[in-house]
């Protein structure tokens, strides 16, 4: 693998991680799940794709704490 290919792969992985973190936060917000500062810090520090995907799946599967169409 060339240096350019390695850099491209690294950039794609970083973009994927950023997207997954955003998804976790958006799903949690949409479902009325409050994220504490501690939760946010854990999401930001997590470098493991499988763990982020698990968190995203958990957020999607948890019952909403309030109706989505109400503040």
Distance in angstroms (rounded) separating the CA atoms of residues 47 and 33: 22
**In this structure, are residues 59 and 27 in contact, taking their beta carbons and an 8 Å threshold?**
yes
Range of the domain at 18: 11-60
| Longest Cα–Cα distance in the chain | 52
Distance in angstroms (rounded) separating the CA atoms of residues 22 and 14: 12
How much is the pLDDT for 70? 43
For 32: left if phi > 0, alpha if psi spans -120 to 50, otherwise beta; the answer is left
How much is the pLDDT for 66? 56
Q: Is residue 18 one of the residues assigned to a domain?
A: yes
* Domains identified in the chain, total number: 1
Q: Could you read off the pLDDT tens digit of each residue along the chain, which spans 71 residues?
A: 899 999 998 998 888 888 889 989 998 888 888 889 999 999 999 989 899 889 888 888 877 765 544 44
* pTM of this prediction exceeds 0.85: no
Q: Is residue 65 one of the residues assigned to a domain?
A: no
Tokens of 61: 């599967």
């Amino acid at each position: 693998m060339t240096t350019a290919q390695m850099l491209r792969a690294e950039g794609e992985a970083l973009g994927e991680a950023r997207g997954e973190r955003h998804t976790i936060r958006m799903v949690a917000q949409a479902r009325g799940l409050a994220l504490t500062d501690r939760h946010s810090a854990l999401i930001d520090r997590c470098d493991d794709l499988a763990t982020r995907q698990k968190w995203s799946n958990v957020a999607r599967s948890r019952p909403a704490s309030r109706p989505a169409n109400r503040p």
